[in-house]
Structure 1
Amino acid sequence: MTIWVTRILFLLLCGLGGYGLTVLQPTIFSSPYIGVAVGLLFALFLILIDKLLRGFSLRAFSAITFGLLLGFVVSQLIDRSGLFETFEEGSTTRWLIRVGLFLAFGYIGMILAMRSNKEDFALIIPYVRFTPLNKPENYIVMDTSAIMDGRILDLTEAKLIEGIVIVPKFVLRELQHLADSPDPIQRNRARRGLEILNQLKQCASIEVKFHEGDFPEEREVDMKLIRLSRNLGAKLFTIDYNLAKIAEFHSVKCVNLNEIINKLRPPIVPGDILTVKLVKEGKEHHQGVGHLPDGNLVVVNNARHMIGKEVEVEVINVVKTAAGYVVFGELKKSTPE
């Protein structure tokens, strides 16, 4: 919303600028309406460029500027080296050579700068690093699964998580889309996620900020999250095992909430009694399946007839998986049928 307000104000200012230019310099445009139209067209042209550059970060812009400067210096050194003295100074050929050198080395400089990291810049310019002077203590980017999971709120209220929580607008859009889903489970989880976001904003240990950035060239939300986290130097919070592994591959620090909770939780062992609501049939015809509050599965043998009810389950086995664990159990003997 803030960006669109800025664009509208910019359109109005450019229109007024065109009108003012016509009044001050009547020889430029024959009519004030033409001046206003030119101003508006100029503004629309710049807004179009702005739309095309969506997801283009300030870091990339700085890298391109540095690369162009480096390319210009190299092209000037080659031009003044004496290699092209056979061509007359001021001639069209000499001018074309200079333009060609600048374009070639400017392009190479831009590409190399965009592919480089801050350590590479420190090697080129000793004692210089492209890092913020007042870098926040901790940036945290959360994906949809971490927000909907709900345990992030418990960890924050316990002051185990501190810093600035970044919620990208594309994650918020995904949450809103899921909140309107025809699937009741997805809809309820997404709405719960939106409520959790509002509660996180009230926590004193963190600051929640919404990020306007997007990466339209990336089709997958996972890759957008990874690129945003890498650009901000942030930790990525998720419960998606695959996303966590992809983030590690791209050298992005990733925190899998399932791993944290599993390490903090007292272990479930055979003989424990759990209370769980059975919501669907298991792989075997006689099984009923429910979920623990943390989202892990509970598979209950001989409980198909209890689907839709809350039952007490005696644990007989716990199997760890990549995403957490699965509890296998039997109906407690005293559970009414």
Structure 2
Amino acid sequence: MKIAVRIGFILIGLVVGWFGIIEAMLLLGDLGVSVPAWLTIPYVASLIGGLIFFILSLFLTDGVVKFIRFIEERLVRLPVGDILFGSIGLIIGLLIAFLISVSLEVTNIFLLSKIVPIFVTALFGYFGFAVGYRKRNEWIKLFVKSEREKPAAEPLRRSNDKILDTSVIIDGRIADISKTGFIEGTLIVPQFVIGELQYIADSSDTLKRNRGRRGLDILKELQDNDRIEVEIYDGDFEDVAEVDIKLIKLAELKKGIVVTNDYNLNKVCEVRNVPVLNINDLANSVKQIVIPGEEMVVTVIKEGKEQNQGVAYLEDGTMVVVEGGRKLISKTLPVVVTSVLQTSAGRMIFARPE
């Protein structure tokens, strides 16, 4: 950018020297001022102008570059429609300025034919852009149908891409679910999630280190599964520090679905209207369904929280609270279901010995 700006300064200096210095010397000569003859030579005057503007560029380049970057950032933030109608107004303004400049050049007066057109071009270009930008809503009404005639907006189309977070990879059940063929679409694993897994795997805490290594092993298992496609997303959102927010932004970018076990991330996705799949919800949905009065056989393995309660577990991990089961620990016996309680932690069954 700096090189381009300095080249621009030099080119402007060459043009100013070719036209401006020569005209200025001739004007001084007409006023009786003694002017060296070599200053009226076009090539010499052009080189002098280029040298002067090159020296100016050494001091002004940084400021010009900052100004260009400032304008660039502002333009990038503007909606495309605003830029479009502003550009149309700019073109119309420049056309009007061109017609005025052509008529001024006929005068053959240096001030009117060379200097005034520059200001006319800048002035009408600015006015054209300002009018086109500020009147964009009226322009839109000329070309776009009224709101009543507009067709109903199409629903947002979502892809089948599944974006995995750290917790669901460490959990490992996603690999078993993928083997069954119930997972559709591409599994996307962001590079910042892999970085978090590596950070956990390098932890000095043994439990965290084992969890991180398990996550990396599960990821390798997913990649080796021929029934699914795994994609590593190398992009990042450097303006965001939290991995959960990065996952949500990636889901919005890809129009995909977040797959997680994290309760908080699940809630944030719901607030942001981002589709989310929770493996825990899936596990609760496929657990054995029981109704009050149904009989089952369980093994009481420990005491319950309340007095005389015993606790057993079904094969899928569902907790069964047996009334009066404290004295039946380590025994296998038939029980009758009295009630079923669905909690955020899963399903809990209450029963009594048959």
TM-score (norm 2): 0.50
Alignment of 1:69-148 (within 5 A): 70-76=84-90, 79=93, 90-92=117-119, 94-96=121-123, 98-99=125-126, 102=129, 138-148=160-170
Q: Which amino acid aligns with 1:165?
A: L
Corresponding residue number in structure 2 for 1:171: 193
Selected match of 1:158 from 168, 172, 180 = 180
- Matches for 1:1-337 after TM superposition, within 5 Å: 66=80, 70-76=84-90, 79=93, 90-92=117-119, 94-96=121-123, 98-99=125-126, 102=129, 138-267=160-289, 273=298, 320-324=342-346
Cα RMSD after superposing both structures: 5.4
CA distance in 2, matches of 1:292, 1:80: 80
- Is the Cα contact below 8 Å between 2:162 and 2:258 reproduced in 1? yes
Go from structure 1 to structure 2 and tell me whether the alpha carbon gap of 1:177 and 1:90 turns closer, same or farther (over 3 Å shift): same
The amino acid across from 1:189 in the alignment is R
Query: Deviating runs (4+, > 6 A) in structure 1?
Result: 80-83, 85-89, 103-109, 268-272, 291-300, 311-318, 326-329
Overall identity of the aligned pairs, in %: 35
Paired with 1:149 and 1:223, the residues of 2 have a C-alpha distance of 20
Counting matched residue pairs gives 240
Task: Assess if the C-alpha contact under 8 Å between 1:161 and 1:205 holds in 2.
Answer: no
Q: Secondary structure at the match of 1:204?
A: coil
Partner residue in 2 for 1:306: none
TM-score (norm 1): 0.52
1:118 match = none
Deviation track 1:106-133 (CA, whole Å, cap 9, x = no partner) reads 8999xxxxxxxxxxxxx9xx99x9xxxx
- For residues 260 and 282 of structure 2, what CA distance do their matches in structure 1 show? 11
- Please give the alpha-carbon distance, in whole angstroms, between the structure 1 residues aligned to 2:213 and 2:276: 25
The runs of 5 or more residues in structure 1 that have no matched partner are 1-48, 54-60, 110-122, 130-134, 301-310, 330-337
The secondary structure found in structure 2 opposite 1:201 is: helix
- Aligned in 2, Cα 1:261/1:172: closer, same or farther, shift over 3 Å? same
Structure (1/2) with the larger helix percentage = 2
In the TM superposition, residue 156 of structure 1 has moved relative to its aligned partner by 0.4
**Structure-2 change in CA distance of 1:275 and 1:170 (3 Å):** farther
Unaligned runs of 5+ in 2: 1-68, 105-115, 137-146, 323-329
- Report the Cα offset of residue 318 of structure 1: 7.1
In the alignment, is the contact (CA less than 8 A) between 2:175 and 2:222 conserved in 1? yes
Q: In structure 2, what is the Cα distance between the partners aligned to 1:293 and 1:65?
A: 57
SS of equivalent residue, structure 2 residue 230: strand
- The structure with the larger Rg is 2
